[in-house]
Amino acid sequence: MSNVVDLLDKNIYSHDMNEYGHLVITLKGLIDIKTTKDNVSLFIDKIIKEVENSLKISKKYNKKKGYVHLYFNDCSLVNAPISLFKKINKVLTNKFEDTVEEIFIYSNSKLVKKLWNIIRFIVDSDTRDKIKIVNS
């Protein structure tokens, strides 16, 4: 369990930049975590905690929103279960309303664009408009 927590801490974190909180998620460092019920719960709890931390940072500067940076480099569709994205999207949408300025998805693979074409329909339209795919 502690190995999973260490991986989550290393690959999901928030920081202060340009007077906003920024949530960073690096998927490559997380692909070796087995998708058990407990690990998925830890993953979602960690994301919620870091979104809250990111918003606290933004609040210091009288801002109500933050940024999200999702690094999908060297990952494949196999590493990205759609059911997990659906679950995370549902939890975050219910818990946080209109708190994201922009979401940047970084990838060095064309597969991410294919994945986006699949999952874009489960993301609400306001959030969908804030998502930018960045080739890296």
Q: Cβ distance 43 to 81 under 8 Å?
A: no
Helix (H) or strand (E) holding 135: strand 131-135
**Residue 115 vs residues 2, 107, 120, 134: alpha-carbon distances, Å:** 31, 11, 8, 14
> What digits encode the pLDDT tens for the residues 79-130?
566 677 778 888 888 899 899 999 998 988 877 787 788 888 888 888 889 9
pLDDT at position 15 over 60: yes
DSSP annotation of 121:
G
CATH-assigned architecture of domain 2-135? 3-Layer(aba) Sandwich (3.40)
Q: What would the two tokens of residue 120 be?
A: 């874009």
- State if pTM tops 0.85: yes
Would you list the domain boundaries of the chain? Answer: 2-135
Q: Are 70 and 47 in contact (CB under 8 A)?
A: no
